[in-house]
Chains A and B, each alone.
Chain A
């Protein structure tokens, strides 16, 4: 089987569109609300989840035939928890500011439903390479929403992107005010709702 056969490409692209973890399956919402008040933590969180889904999918897929069926959830959790702890330690060592900002949410990746969902639904039945692609696809799908929501919230809530001021001082002189509502988690919920709406209206095709 070729590395990028049609089937494998679908495995990778489906979660970016039809089977999107947030838009299609509505998984992983809670962390999407919490970390998106600024763009930088949203990007780091998206990358962290992508790395963890990709590697946990691959590892579980490699050992899938040896896992005793009765304790498979425990085994999955141990693998995910180990990966999450490693990522959190690496963040603390190399991106301390971001790890402070993300605080508990890095640890909570363990309970992100996208991870367990993909492990149970995909990695337990498929070979390592497609599982890796599925993990990367789902992680990027999740990261995509985080980046969209994070960018909108930071732009409207703080007038900046990645910490750089975008909206010129002149606008503030004319009485433009940052929308404080945007920094609240509730607005993230509404924005995710809008993104789901646009996605369903224009991109989603019923099977």
Chain B
């Protein structure tokens, strides 16, 4: 008997079976790989925190060990994670940042030393333009511009900012050329998140 592959009943049954098979397959793969993926994501977060402490170029196990050595305490402040760290003999607090870039979310970690100056910074993004907005993540040089900047003025307002034209070099960082909107996003993210953390402190 030859099946009529163009009958409606055949088409419906065929597609139903196909979808069920594919769904089971995908669910299985997802479940099987999930632990490894979660481990990768967790490791990536730890690496980013280390980057913000100017500890770069570490591989998986090394980064894990260094993280355990450096980060002493982790707590939640107004929905933002704050990490108390000890680098050498210095007490440093790493604040996690979350904000909006031009095309999607941006995030980052800002390390603050005990004089309320920037110890180090690392930024990440979801979908900024490669070569322009993506420089906030790719350019180590740009991230290092933050080091040593003053964060608060005498009244406790956040003065650390990313601007087009630097007027007060002790608290302002030059924005990424060609990526003004992404840089504005970084600026807003820093102000917003640091204010939240400051209020709680």
Contact = CB atoms under 8 A, between A and B. Distances in A.
B62 to A, nearest CB: 15
Contact of A86 (B5, B10, B29, B36): B29
Contacts of B36: 93-94
Interface residues of B, number: 24
A69 B6 contact: yes
Contacts of A183: 130-131
B15 interface: yes
A78 B44 CA distance: 32
B37 A92 contact: yes
A165 B43 CA distance: 26
A90 B15 contact: no
A67 to B, nearest CB: 7
- The B contact surface, by secondary structure, is helix
A104 B41 CA distance: 17
Contacts of B3: 66
A86 B14 CA distance: 22
B26 interface: yes
Contacts of A66: 3, 5, 14
Given A82-B25, A104-B127, A75 B18 contact: yes
A91 to B, nearest CB: 10
A184 interface: yes
Contacts of B14: 66-68, 71, 75
B40 interface: yes
Interface string A77-100: 011001001100110111010001
Contacts of B30: 89
B33 interface: yes
Contacts of A69: 5-6
A71 B10 CA distance: 11
A96 B44 contact: yes
Contacts of B41: 96
Contact of B33 (A37, A68, A89): A89
B19 interface: yes
B58 interface: no
A82 B29 CA distance: 10
Interface of B: 3, 5-6, 10-11, 14-15, 18-19, 22, 25-26, 29-30, 33, 36-37, 40-41, 43-44, 127, 130-131
Interface of A: 37, 66-71, 74-75, 78-79, 82, 85-86, 89-90, 92-94, 96, 100, 103-104, 180, 183-185
Given A68-B6, A68-B11, A92-B33, 4 more contacts: A71-B11, A78-B18, A90-B29, A92-B40
